[in-house]
Amino acid sequence: MALTPMADEGWIDAHAHVWTDDTARYPLAEGFQKEQMKPARFEPEELLGHARPCGVNRVVLIQMSYYRYDNSYLLDAMARYPGIFSGVAIVDAARQDAPQRMVELKRRGVRGFRIVASELEAPAMEAMWECGAEQELAICPLINPPELAALERMCARHPRTPVVIDHFARIGMDGEIREADLERLCGLARFPRVHVKVSAFYALGRKKYPYTDLLPMIERLLRAYGAERLMWATDCPFQVMGGHTYLGSLELVRDRLSASDKEKEWLLRRTAERVFFS
């Protein structure tokens, strides 16, 4: 029998993107063209149309790269659905006022900030991590396995900063889950404020439903981090493209993972709730 959430709580999807084709109201960042948007739009209503039938009633929205530092669409989506969406925004790490911008966005419900590896040496990055520690704002790295060493150094310098690593640090994106990469990711568990998103199953390993080739990696992370520092997510809309489904992602953790119901409660709701909705 499938694990079901409490009726008044539901599961939380810790990572999804939304955007609109209304580029007059929400202009794309320099370097992006409307033709690059695939699908042409994925608005909150479409996301919730996939999520709610699966028992997911809250979602952490991640700023879409099409808009870069203009978080307007993300913020407007959050405002239209109060309590349903939390947000991970993007600020310009090259600007010295990045921490002030983080605090401003926190007032509007943002609880995390996406970074990429190339920004780890940016002028304001150290200050952003300090701000994250002081304001309880998560730094959310989108990185690849070779970049885990640089992330490790930042975690060592800023052990009080909440960190949420996207998509297993993309281990297995090329189809191979390497022991050395997994060992490095598990090694970051020694920093008690580091979390990992168990997500983007469509893009990792064999990239085929039911994604059971990813179970050993999830179980390894479960042993290293504990369920209280792992959170499930889809990475919609990409999880619902190319023959993949929203339910297929949920099933891997809910039905196929060898874990207790209590551990699954943390993976599917409690961890994301604590980090992004508290």
2 in a domain, yes or no?
no
Task: Give the structural domain span for 170.
Answer: 11-276
Count the domains in the chain: 1
Q: Please tell me the predicted confidence (pLDDT) of residue 6.
A: 60
Q: What is the CATH number of the domain that holds 221?
A: 3.20.20.140
Residue 3 has pLDDT above 90, yes or no: no
User: Contact 261/3 with Cβ under 8 angstroms?
Assistant: yes
Torsion of CA 241, 79, 66, 26, to 10 degrees: 120
Residue 1 has pLDDT above 70, yes or no: no
User: Contact 142/151 with Cβ under 8 angstroms?
Assistant: no
Per-residue pLDDT of 116-170, as tens digits, reads: 999 999 999 999 999 999 999 999 999 999 999 999 999 999 999 999 999 999 9
3-state secondary structure of 29: coil
3 in a domain, yes or no?
no
98 in a domain, yes or no?
yes
Q: What Rg value do the Cα atoms of the chain yield, rounded?
A: 18
C-alpha 213/C-alpha 207 separation (Å) is: 9
Per-residue pLDDT of 197-252, as tens digits, reads: 999 999 999 999 999 999 999 999 999 999 999 999 999 999 999 999 999 999 99
Torsion of CA 269, 226, 115, 236, to 10 degrees: -40
pTM: 0.96
Residue 174 has pLDDT above 60, yes or no: yes
204 in a domain, yes or no?
yes
User: Contact 168/194 with Cβ under 8 angstroms?
Assistant: no
5 in a domain, yes or no?
no
257 in a domain, yes or no?
yes
160 in a domain, yes or no?
yes
Tokens linked to 131: 């701000």
C-alpha 234/C-alpha 240 separation (Å) is: 9
C-alpha 195/C-alpha 136 separation (Å) is: 14
